[in-house]
Structure 1
């Protein structure tokens, strides 16, 4: 079991006390919380939490939010988490829960939300931003096929959130990638002596955190990997996680980004 800080243990116990029936402890250092939407009081999604060793001083919490059917967010959740932790350098899960509760909203027909605002996808932020002066050197792995589903990895060396956002933006300019069923992301880099790491499932629940664990196990640092999956019509069950990780592992190994 990871050696959790006193602050992390206190946060875990406080969440359990406050959210009671909506809180479920899944392991000694992970939990799930049902998020209630302030707008209507209904359960609007589930927040998956892992408290890593070194949180909150050295590492951010590993968080993944899965909206309930009919609900969405209008911002990049993973970027928000990393930005909040970098700015506060303290326990942030309570703040994240509050943000989700106040921000998650119902989708309505036509891609609009209440009030007429346009609904944007939560999983991948493709908002316009200032592009880096030099395009990133993105490497592309081989396509693998399992029962008609196709998998392909793309990766880049990086050292900042700006480069991470540019990476996501750049790969989505490829129409084939933009149309993938899922684009699962994991990244790790060092900033000011701290390890910044996180993941994005892009709707493939559980895939992102497994991809991040792979990068950790390989000792990969200062890189990001996106594995695209194009669903072929046949459900793969747990084999899809193996396919995703094997695609990423081949790319990381070929680029010699891992130490292990």
Structure 2
């Protein structure tokens, strides 16, 4: 499990990104459970994620409507299969509107670039 913290900070909201290899839906759920064993991530407002698996893609917005699809599209563009990416947000008290999608993209891009 790779975790990159403090990727984006905007109007009090803070973002981190994490990920790792998974091969099944159960492994994806186990990955999220493992991440949330860290109290900091368990207390996060949102842990949105996506993964491209052989049978079907999986995603979860965790209350951040549309964020899972943003991650999934980026995974598809990169053809990054069997690798979950989780974008974590700690809400800072101010709504970010459409900027939140740009921040999710920035987090995923940071993670993918760090894989090289």
Asked if these proteins are the same fold (TM beyond 0.5), I'd say yes
Alignment of 1:89-168 (within 5 A): 138-143=1-6, 144-168=8-32
Are 1:187 and 2:51 counterparts? yes
DSSP-derived class of the 1:216 partner: helix
Q: What's the TM-score, normalizing by structure 2?
A: 0.91
Residues 31-70 of structure 1 aligned to structure 2 (within 5 Å): none
Q: How many residues align?
A: 115
Q: Distance in 2 between matches of 1:139 and 1:189?
A: 19
Aligned match of 2:89: 229
TM-score (norm 1): 0.42
Q: Does 1:251 align with 2:76?
A: no
Give SS of 1:247's match. Answer: helix
- 1:29-78 Cα deviation digits (max 9, x unpaired): xxxxxxxxxxxxxxxxxxxxxxxxxxxxxxxxxxxxxxxxxxxxxxxxxx
Of structures 1 and 2, the one scoring higher in RCO (CA 8 A, sep 6+) is 2
Q: Structure 1 residue 225: deviation in Å?
A: 0.9
Q: CA deviation at 1:147?
A: 1.7
CA contact (8 A) 2:70 2:105 kept: yes
Q: Structure 1 residue aligned with 2:67, among 179, 186, 207?
A: 207
Asked if the contact 2:22/2:83 (under 8 Å) is kept, the reply is yes
Matched residue of 1:142: which SS? strand
Structure 2 alignment gaps of length 5 or more: none
Deviation per CA, 1:126-184: give whole Å up to 9, x if none.
Answer: xxxxxxxxxxxx00113121121100011011212232121011001011111111110
More helix by share: 2
CA distance in 1 between partners of 2:23 and 2:58 (Å):
14
Query: Per-residue deviation at 1:248?
Result: 1.5
Q: How many Å separate the matches in 2 of 1:248 and 1:176?
A: 20
Please give the alpha-carbon distance, in whole angstroms, between the structure 1 residues aligned to 2:75 and 2:112: 8
SS at match of 2:64: coil
Gaps of 5+ in 1: 1-137
Contact 1:182-1:204 at 8 Å conserved across structures = yes
Corresponding residue of 2:35: 171
| Contact 1:184 1:202 (C-alpha < 8 Å) held by counterparts | yes
What do you get for the CA RMSD once the two structures are aligned?
A: 1.3
